Amino acid sequence: MAAAIMWASSGVAGKALFAGGITPFELVQIRVTLSTLLLAIIFCLHDRNVFRIRSKDLGYFLLLGGVAMAFVQITYFYAVSKIQVAAAVFLEYLAPILVAFFSICFWKERLTLTKFLSLVISLAGCYLVVGGYNLHLLKMNRVGILCGLSAALCFAAYTLIGERMMQRYSPWTVLFYAFLFATFTWHIIPPPFQYLWASHSLGQWGWLLYISVIGTVIPFALFFMGINHIRSTRASITATLEPIAAGLLAYLFLGEGLAPLQIVGGAMVVGAIVLLQLKREHDELAPALIRPSYDNSEIVK
């Protein structure tokens, strides 16, 4: 829940930066780069064991950071640039369906009535919060819709791969290498280090630092820690609190109002999260996830 609220606050800050001339590509490139540098400094000073991983897991980290984390951000922001923000948010939060489907089919996670009801209620609430009843998806930009669906796919992949890697490593190790590989991606696709020659103001750099720390490093860490405690399906459903938090922050700081149906949708999402956590049973992990084998000869720095 804390991660969802922080992600929402970074969306409000990002909107202000876009109005000041910063592009989504610049924002994502700076965001992952600053986040990686901050984490590297912290771990160098306090716990260098975080950097230790097995060589055979490099492929998983490449998928997690270089593909899933790198593209979930740009596909969402690009969708926002092509279609309504509400539509982009709703499309991205189809991810819990993908997470639940994969976890149940391939990771032996149990589909309980509580999980099913929570999933349906949260998605219906999210639909109302973003004003889905006023959207005309068929009339929207097709590229924007495809980007929104791609954001959902990347977010689901990020959640599932992150859960798998946390059976072997701490959330901090997973987080650092996810950002590291995302940074590599965003210095290959667009021109590298272009932000160093950009004439951003001190205020803009302040907001960029805010987005990197409060809107990125901390919430992603909290989300991984949440997955570690309540599994990927519950965590992804709980993350649907983000549109509600974004709506409230936009109301408080941008003066955007909330319609009665949006308030009802917000109550539905909160209710789904409460239902999900009150009825917490112990899920059995797949054997491959719960009993990882370690070989110290494969550990690399």
Show me where the domains of the chain are located. Answer: 2-194+202-280
Cβ neighbour number for residue 230 with a 10 Å cutoff: 16
pLDDT in tens, 246-277: 777 777 776 666 678 877 887 888 788 777 76
Whether 4 shows a pLDDT value over 50: the answer reads yes
Q: What residues contact 249, with CB distance under 8 A and at least 6 apart?
A: 8, 9, 12
Q: Which two tokens stand for residue 238?
A: 């709980």
pLDDT in tens, 81-108: 677 666 677 777 778 888 888 887 777 7
pTM: 0.76
pLDDT in tens, 22-33: 888 888 899 899
